[in-house]
């Protein structure tokens, strides 16, 4: 059965603190009529630090979409290989052992995909399948796990590599002054994560079932307005309340597997913001402590989009993992509004047979 192994995670070297963010908002928008509201919302995110690929002085400039996308490509090529190599090492595999690469990102665009560059530059076989996913936003971390699971179910001896590369700071738009945009400026961070799903052997989450759910008529609640200046992030004020309709979808998936989503051993959840986790705790009737890995990611890195679930899983590994056969849920939420959900059991180290 396919096993999601220990992820490798990396954040850039440039740090911006909550205090920096608040000071910048006051400095750049002193006359904004809703500045006090925006400052309060930013403070309530609980994000203490974020990491970005350029110094803040460069991040605040807007040299144009073309130049920003060049930065995205250059930074991805410079930073992704080391993270991929660590993920391969964690899974005790070589690049030549990988049969498919699932690459997810919503903060830059490349064609051919980064998958092609990795195949040509890191020793992957030239028959390696490529699954680039660009339009699922934060839900793409869960989607990547699910597509890797699907592939390894179809090809039980296969191994899949997942890569999430998000440079959210490259989407900063100085002319977007809505409260949602100002909040986003204090919420999102940059990060890269990678993990291997092994068809045989490995330690981690032995994946058993996955599913998707889209809340009807919410496709405009999280979206990009694509303009000549790049990606303009639009966030509807109703988004924080989406756990009420999504919690039943999580329960339904678990119930179909004979489990109770309110009574699992571990939870790896995308942390879009603190209310997402608070509401999920409420509607699933789960102790808030169950979401400690997701909260730690949000506090230390901010919302790193599709990479959040892999970083939260990395933190579970850092805590020592779970007991053998422990049952867990992994879920990512994003545009659509879409939930990508997976169920699995913790599996200790086993030998390939």
Domain 3-198 shares a fold with domain 204-347: yes
Peptide bond preceding 337 in cis form (omega within 30 of 0): yes
Q: Which residues contact 52 (CB under 8 A, 6 or more apart)?
A: 12, 14, 15, 16, 59, 167, 169, 189, 190
The pLDDT of residue 51:
98
Collapsing DSSP states into helix, strand and coil, what is residue 13?
coil
pLDDT score at 149: 98
β-pair type (100-104, 129-133): parallel
Query: For the residues of 230-288, what is the DSSP string, one character each?
Result: EEEEEE-TTGGGTHHHHHHHHHHHHHHTT--TTS-SEEEE--S-HHHHHHHHHHHT--G
Asked whether 47 and 294 are in contact (CB, 8 A), the reply is: no
pLDDT score for 221 = 92
Please tell me the predicted confidence (pLDDT) of residue 179: 87
Mean pLDDT of the chain: 95
CATH class of 204-347: alpha beta
Q: 1 falls in which pLDDT band (50, 70, 90)?
A: confident
The 10s digit of each residue's pLDDT in 303-326 is 999 999 999 999 999 999 999 999
Percent of the chain with pLDDT over 90: 89
Query: How much is the pLDDT for 273?
Result: 86
Predicted TM-score (pTM) of the model is 0.95
Q: What pLDDT, on the 0 to 100 scale, is given for residue 240?
A: 85
For residue range 144-174, what is the model confidence (pLDDT) as tens digits?
Answer: 999 999 999 999 999 999 999 999 999 999 9
Q: Could you tell me which CATH class the domain 3-198 is placed in?
A: alpha beta
The residue to which tokens 């979409």 are assigned: 65
Q: Domain residue spans in the chain?
A: 3-198, 204-347
Q: Which of 138, 165, 168, 171 is catalytic?
A: 138
Catalytic status, residue 138: yes
The pLDDT-based confidence of 350 (bands split at 50, 70, 90) is low
How many separate helices (H) and strands (E) can be counted in the chain? 11, 14
């Amino acid at each position: 059965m396919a096993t999601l192994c220990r992820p490798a995670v990396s954040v850039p070297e440039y740090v911006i603190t909550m205090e920096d963010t608040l000071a910048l908002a006051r400095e750049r928008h002193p006359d904004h009529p809703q500045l006090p509201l925006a400052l309060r919302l930013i403070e309530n995110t609980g994000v203490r630090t974020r990491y970005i690929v350029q110094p803040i002085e460069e991040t605040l400039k807007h040299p144009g979409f073309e130049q920003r996308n060049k930065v995205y490509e250059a930074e991805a090529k410079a930073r992704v290989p080391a993270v991929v190599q660590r993920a391969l090492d964690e899974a005790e595999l070589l690049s030549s052992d990988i049969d498919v690469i699932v690459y997810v990102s919503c903060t830059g665009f490349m064609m051919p995909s980064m998958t092609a560059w990795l195949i040509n530059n890191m020793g992957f076989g030239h028959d390696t399948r490529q699954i680039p996913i660009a339009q699922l936003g934060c839900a793409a971390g869960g989607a990547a796990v699910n597509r890797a699971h699907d592939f390894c179910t179809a090809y039980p001896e296969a191994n899949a590599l997942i890569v999430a590369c998000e440079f959210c700071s490259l989407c900063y738009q100085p002319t977007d002054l809505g409260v949602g945009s100002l909040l986003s400026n204090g919420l999102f961070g940059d990060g890269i994560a990678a993990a291997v799903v092994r068809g045989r052997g490995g330690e981690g989450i032995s994946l058993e079932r996955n599913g998707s759910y889209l809340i009807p008529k919410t496709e405009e609640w999280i979206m990009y307005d694509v303009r000549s200046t790049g990606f303009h992030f639009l966030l509807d004020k109703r988004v924080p309340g989406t756990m009420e309709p999504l919690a039943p979808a999580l329960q339904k998936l678990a119930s179909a597997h004979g489990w109770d989503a309110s009574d699992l051993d571990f939870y790896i959840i995308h942390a879009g913001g603190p209310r997402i986790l608070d509401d999920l705790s409420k509607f699933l009737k789960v102790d808030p402590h169950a979401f400690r890995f997701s909260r730690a990611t949000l506090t230390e890195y901010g919302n790193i989009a599709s990479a959040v679930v892999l970083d939260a899983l990395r933190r579970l590994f850092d805590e020592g993992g779970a007991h053998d056969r422990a049952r867990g849920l992994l879920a990512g939420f994003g545009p659509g509004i879409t939930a990508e959900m997976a169920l699995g059991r913790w599996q200790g180290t086993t030998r390939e047979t």
